[in-house]
Amino acid sequence: MIVRVIVFLIGVLSTHFALGAKYFVGLDDSTTLVLDENTQVLESYKHLNVFIVESKTKPDVKNAKFVTRFTTVDISQKSKEVNSSNEVFVEKGLTWGQQYIKAPQVWGITEGRGSRVLVIDSGIDKDHPEVKNKIAKAKDFTKSKVSPYHPYPEHDISGHGTHVAATIIGDWFGVAPDAQLYVARACEFLCLDQSAIVAALDWAIEEKVDVINMSLGSKEFPLELANHIYGKVEKNNIVVVSSVGNDGKKEGNQIGIPARLETVIAVGAIDSEGNVPEFSSFGPEVFITAPGVNVLSASLTKGINKRDNLMIMKDGTSMASPHVAGVVALMKSVNKELSPAEIRSYLAQTAVQPKENFDRDKYGAGILDAEAAISILHAW
Which of these is catalytic: 150, 160, 163, 323? 160
Please list the alpha-helical segments (H only) found in 221-290: 223-235
Sheet holding 80-82, edge to edge: 80-82, 311-315, 295-298
Output phi, psi for 314, to 5 deg.
Answer: -140, 150
Output phi, psi for 332, to 5 deg.
Answer: -65, -30
Which of these is catalytic: 79, 318, 321, 333? 318
Beta pairing, strands 288-291 & 295-298: unpaired
| Catalytic residue status for 128 | no
Position 371, amino acid: E
- Give, in order, the Cα–Cα distances in Å from 149 to each of 135, 153, 319: 21, 11, 25
The rounded distance, in Å, linking the Cα atoms of 104 and 371 is 8
Which of these is catalytic: 79, 121, 156, 158? 121
The rounded distance, in Å, linking the Cα atoms of 193 and 70 is 9
Please list the alpha-helical segments (H only) found in the chain: 2-18, 86-89, 96-100, 160-169, 194-206, 223-235, 317-334, 340-350, 360-363, 370-379
The rounded distance, in Å, linking the Cα atoms of 182 and 122 is 13
| Catalytic residue status for 318 | yes
| Catalytic residue status for 378 | no
Closest by CA to 261, choosing from 330, 325, 206, 214, is 214
Tally Cβ neighbours within 10 Å of residue 214.
29
* Catalytically active residues, by annotation: 121, 160, 318
